[in-house]
Amino acid sequence: MNIHKKDIKEIVNEKYSQIALQSKKENETSCCGAGGCCEIDYTIFSENYEKLEGYNPDADLGLGCGIPTQFAKIRKGDTVLDLGSGAGNDCFVARALAGEAGKVIGLDFSDTMLEKARENVKKLGFTNVEFIKGDIEEMPVDSDTVDVVVSNCVLNLVPDKQKAYDGIFRVLKPGGHFSISDVVLKGALPKGLKDDAVMYAGCVAGAIQKDEYLDIIRLSGFRNIEINKEKEVELPDELLRNYLSAEEINEFKSNKIGIFSITVTAEK
């Protein structure tokens, strides 16, 4: 990709700060949730949280690609870290599992998202959920202090994924584990998708090959790596037409290049 890593972070911060100002419904109907730019629907991968204990509609912007808490095996009293916590959706579900004796930390680098999340936790009156500012590549979290790490459709946005997973390994206690939902690929994306900054912020262009993704996790030192859920994501033609010619779209589909959301777990 010819986009500089620093530029990627600025693009992601700008886009998700704009999205934070709108509701899930507005994000679904205004394409990218950033003033109706109609470049990509950022809710295209999201799943339904409404029946989960701890779910709070104000915290759900529809930005995930799975439900990482479903496989996180969070126990009462656990300390849980959510990377890229947004408005707090997964944090509040994790809090219901960790209970009053647990602690949930949400990490995000968007000031607008953090403000929204802190407003939500204040309304809910929780004293064991906090939101902190930080970069996933340089997590401001002490080593060996977290029982469970969760993240939902965020690590694909991080330029240095090896550094991110090394950081996850560092902050987890010995015997701790993670459950992460993310977007991966099978086959090479067309150049028009891969090189586009908006598509990067929309989770697609930042995704890497599934095998490479799992190798990164192994290189960080994790064991018992398991894909608990996997589903193919189809990009609609109206979105593809923004980036590819008709011929390129046909080639993209005929080559059966796969974009998948996965939820992967592993232990330290």
Residue 148, strand partner residues: 80, 177
Q: Note the pLDDT of residue 42.
A: 44
Q: Which residues contact 36 (CB under 8 A, 6 or more apart)?
A: 30
pTM for the structure as a whole: 0.81
Condensed to tens digits (0 to 9), the pLDDT of residues 79-117 reads: 999 999 999 999 999 999 999 999 999 999 989 999 999
Q: Note the pLDDT of residue 87.
A: 92
Could you tell me which of 180, 176, 194 has the C-alpha nearest to residue 226? 180
Q: What confidence tier does 14 reach under pLDDT thresholds 50, 70, 90?
A: low
The Cα 202–Cα 38 span in angstroms is 12
* Average pLDDT for 159-186: 95
The chain-wide mean pLDDT, for the chain, equals: 82
Q: Note the pLDDT of residue 67.
A: 95
Distance of CA 58 to the CA centre of its chain: 18
Could you tell me which of 113, 158, 106, 151 has the C-alpha nearest to residue 136? 158
**227: enclosing H helix or E strand:** strand 223-232
DSSP 8-state assignment for residue 136? T
* Average pLDDT for 1-12: 54
Q: Note the pLDDT of residue 253.
A: 76
* Average pLDDT for 30-49: 49
| Structural domains in the chain, sorted by start | 5-267 (3.40.50.150)
Q: Looking at the predicted structure, is the pLDDT value of residue 46 above 90? A: no
Condensed to tens digits (0 to 9), the pLDDT of residues 124-144 reads: 999 999 999 999 999 999 999
The answer to whether the beta carbons of residues 143 and 174 sit under 8 Å apart is no
Q: What is the dihedral of CA 145, 147, 151, 154, to 10 degrees?
A: 30
